[in-house]
Each structure stands twice: as C-alpha cells, then as structure tokens.
Structure 1
Amino acid sequence: MAYDLEEQEQLASLKAWWAKYGNVTSWVLIAGLAAYSGWNGWKYYEREQAAKASALYDEVQTALASKDAAKIQRATADMQSRFASTAYASMTAFAAAKQAFEANDLKTAKTQLQWVVEHGNEEHKALARIRLAGVLLDEKAYDEALKVLAVETPAQFASAVADRKGDVLAAQNKLAEARAAYTAALNASDKKNPGRQLIQIKLEAIGGTAPAEQPKGAA
C-alpha cells in the first residue's frame, strides 16, 4: 500500500510537471529533431548539387576544347543559374572569361569576372578582381581598375593585388606610386615565389630598387 501511495505521488508529480513544462519540452525536442533532419537534408542537397555541377562542368570543358564561344557562354549561363552556390560556377566563369579575353571579347570577359566578384567565395572574389583589373588596364580604364582593387582581400593575395596596382599606376605614368606598389608586392610575396623576379624587373624598369632581404635572425 505504501508502495502504491508512493507511486501515485510520483505520478501526480509527473503530471504536474508535464502540465507546466511538457508543451515547451515537446517543442524544444521537435525543433531539435527538425534542425538535425534539416542539416542532414541540406548536406545531402549540397552533395547532389555538387555532383550535378561537376557533370555540367565536364560539358563546359568540352565546349572550351572546341573553342565554341556560343556554347561556352550558354553552358556558363546554365551553370550560374542552376549551381551558383558551388565552386564550379566560379571556375566556369573564370574559364569563360579567359576564352573571351583570348578572343578579344573584353566585354564578355569583364561580365564573367564581375559575376565571380559578386557571387564567388572570398578567394575567388580576390582572384577575379585582380584579373578584372587586368582587363580594365588593357582598356586603359585606369581609375576603374584601381577602384576594383581598392578593397580588402585575403592576405595571400596581397602581393598580386599590389603588383597589379603597380601595373596600372605605371601605365598612368605615376611612377613614384607605382614603385611603392611594386615594393609592397615584393615585401608581401614569398621569397620562393617565381613571380618575384618579374615584379623586381618592373620595379627596376621605372627607377626603383628592390628592398634588401633581411638577414636571417634579424628583427
């Protein structure tokens, strides 16, 4: 009897607790399960999208090999409309921009690079800005090129950005500023970077001097 009474008291306590907190607890559990389910569903969706984008990217490569400009642009537009969130979309835009640039279609090249600037990840955006500034340099749109480069970029692109700024400033005959940019490019580049020699040649061509290397152990 005592056991039955104790059991009844526990049941009554449970009912009272459930009446007060049960509904909230249920919603928390449901929300947690929904989030877990949604996360797994999203990861599956991402994998599926990447697989489809990869297949379409193969078609882009075939079009590039054939140098069929119209087909390349159609495939690129298809990739960007269907799989804009994947890296394949930026890779396709870069490839399409390169093909257009080589065909002297600077307008299309700029359009594709601008797409990456607006939709790519941070690394792709930085690379697209450097290449877009190069196209604008060819068009002698110097101020616009400098504007494209005047944004914060990941540290690993600091040398390339400064180098491109130097090219634009040198083309404007702003030699002091160009020397400063090339010097910054050298300072930011890895000592093993094969591109350092070209930067140094450009710097010296406009009357600059490469910064002396710090001896090992120097502060």
Structure 2
Amino acid sequence: MAYETDEQQAEALKQWWAENGKQVIFGIVIGLVGVFGWRGWQEHRADVNASAAQALGQMLEISGQGETDQALVQGQKIIDEYANTLYADLASLNLAAALVGRGEEAAALAHLQRVIEQRRDPALTDLARLRLARLLLSLERAEEARALLDSIGKAYAAEVESIRGDIALAAGDLEAARQAYERALAEGLADTDMIRLKLDDLAGTQASQ
C-alpha cells in the first residue's frame, strides 16, 4: 500500500504494532528462551558427561590397583548417578567382568543384560551380547548363547565364529567346531594363537577317531 504522507505511514505502523506487537515480542522471547535454553541444556549435559567420565576413570584406577570391592561400589555409583549416559554402560561392562572374576555370574549377567536393554550405543550393545554369550556358554547354557550370537553385528564376526566353535566343541561336533574356528581366523580374529591351538587339538582328535 502506498502512503501519501509520512504521517499516514507512521499512523499505519502504529496501528499495525497495536494489533501485532504482542505477538512479535512473544515470538522473540520464545526464540531467545529456546536458544539459551538449548545452550544451557548442552552445557549441563557436558558437565554431566565430564563428571561421569571422571568417575569412570576413578573406577578403572581402583580396579587396576586390585581393589575390587571399592571398584564395585564406584561402578554402582556411576550407574545410579549417571544412568542415562554411556559411562553407566561402560561401568556395567566393567562390573560384569569383575563379578565373573569373583564367581558372581548371576550379578554379572544382570549387568550385561542391562547394557543390552538400554541399546544406547550399537557397538557397546554388541559387545555386551558377545560377553553375555561367552558367560552363558561357561554356565552350560549353550542354546541361549547360540541364539544371542545371531543378533551381533558384523564388527564382531570373528569373535562370534570363535564362540560358535566353542559351542560346537562343547556339543561334541568336532567338524562344525573346526569350520567355525577357521571362519574366525578368516575374519581376522585377534587371538589367533588360541584358535590355532584348538584347531591342532581338533586335528589330533579327529585323526585318532
């Protein structure tokens, strides 16, 4: 719309502001709250993660000194205080390892299952599944271990095949064990010496049959 005088333009602006000014101010305020609220949330998350990382470092240091009881207490504290972070999952993985060493398999199972149920990070979830499968096999729960292996991603293919070999060996299926161990080597398993020893033992057993 064209205005004939500056006074007409100014009057039109006053009228527009009277009708829309509150909405404009409200929109600006909401925008500022959103920006600064998001920044505050991000800063809060960074502070929480920093505290959780420090707590996990302390747990690992204590564990490295052989103070298992204190490490278990510290690990549970991390889970309680930082339950919604990856550091809680890392604490659970470390707690499970310590508990297995103490012969407390049931408690270890619970920590591994907790990480799996959280599904917070695919790599950590698969690592928990892998460790749980090994633990289940050691508890002679081979069928549960085998079922769990099917849900583990390709990143752990070599380790999965190694456990498949152990499951087959425990069941007395020497040929299936041999094939699984060979697949583990082909997938690039890190602990090749142990697998080669198992293959040598299998070869000797099969030759004597």
Q: Which residue of 2 aligns with 1:73?
A: 72
Q: Alpha-carbon deviation of 1:176?
A: 4.6
Equivalent-residue separation in structure 2 for 1:182 and 1:26 (angstroms): 69
Give distance in 2, aligned partners of 1:30 and 1:174: 71
Q: In the aligned structure 2, how far is the partner of 1:158 from the partner of 1:21?
A: 63
Identity percentage over the alignment? 25
CA distance in 2, matches of 1:85, 1:199: 38
SS at match of 2:52: helix
SS at match of 1:140: coil
Closer, same or farther: CA 17–182 of 1 in aligned 2, 3 Å: farther
- Aligned partners of 1:111 and 1:142: how far apart in 2? 18
Q: CA deviation at 1:168?
A: 1.8
1:99 is aligned to 2:95: no
TM-score normalised by L of structure 1? 0.72
Q: Distance in 2 between matches of 1:196 and 1:11?
A: 85
Structure 2 partner of 1:156: 155
The aligned amino acid for 2:55 is L
Aligned position for 1:87 = 86
Q: What's the counterpart of residue 143 of structure 1? A: 143
Note closer, same or farther for the CA distance 1:80–1:34 as it changes in structure 2 (3 Å cut): same
Structure 2 residue corresponding to 1:195, chosen from 185, 191, 197: 191
In structure 1, the residue matched to 2:108 is: 109
Alpha-carbon offset, residue 171 of structure 1: 1.5
Q: Give per-residue Cα distances to partners, 1:175-203, cap 9 Å, x unaligned.
A: 454444334433433xxx64345445545
| Structure 1 residue 114 displacement after superposition | 1.8
SS in 2 for 1:84: coil
Spell out the pairing of 1:1-219 with structure 2 (5 A cutoff): 5-6=5-6, 8-9=8-9, 12=12, 15-16=15-16, 19=19, 23=23, 29-61=28-60, 63-64=62-63, 65-69=65-69, 71-119=70-118, 120-153=120-153, 155-189=154-188, 194-203=190-199, 205-206=201-202
Count of aligned pairs between the two proteins: 200
Maintained 8 Å contact 2:92/2:112: yes
Amino acid at match of 1:167: D
Cα distance in 2 for residues equivalent to 1:131 and 1:54: 23
The alpha-carbon distance between structure 1 residues 20 and 141, as it changes in their structure 2 partners (threshold 3 A), is same
In structure 1, stretches of 5+ residues that fail to align are 208-219
Q: Which structure 2 residue ranges, 5 or more long, are not aligned?
A: 204-209
1:74-129 Cα offsets, whole Å, 9 max, x none, are 32221111112333222222222222112222122222222222234211111111
Structure 1 CA distance for aligned equivalents of residues 199 and 54 of structure 2: 44
Change (3 A) 1:152 1:68: closer
Q: How far apart are 1:49 and its partner, in Å?
A: 0.9
Task: Tell me which residue corresponds to 1:213.
Answer: none
2-structure distance, mates of 1:139, 1:51: 37
Normalised by the length of structure 2, the TM-score is 0.75
Summarize the Cα distance change of 1:86–1:4 in structure 2 as closer, same or farther, 3 Å threshold: same
Structure 2 distance, partners of 1:13, 1:26, is 16
Three-state SS of the structure 2 residue aligned to 1:144 is helix
In structure 2, what is the Cα distance between the partners aligned to 1:15 and 1:183?
Answer: 83
Q: Give CA deviations for 1:157-179 in whole Å, capped at 9, x if unaligned.
A: 22222222222232223445444
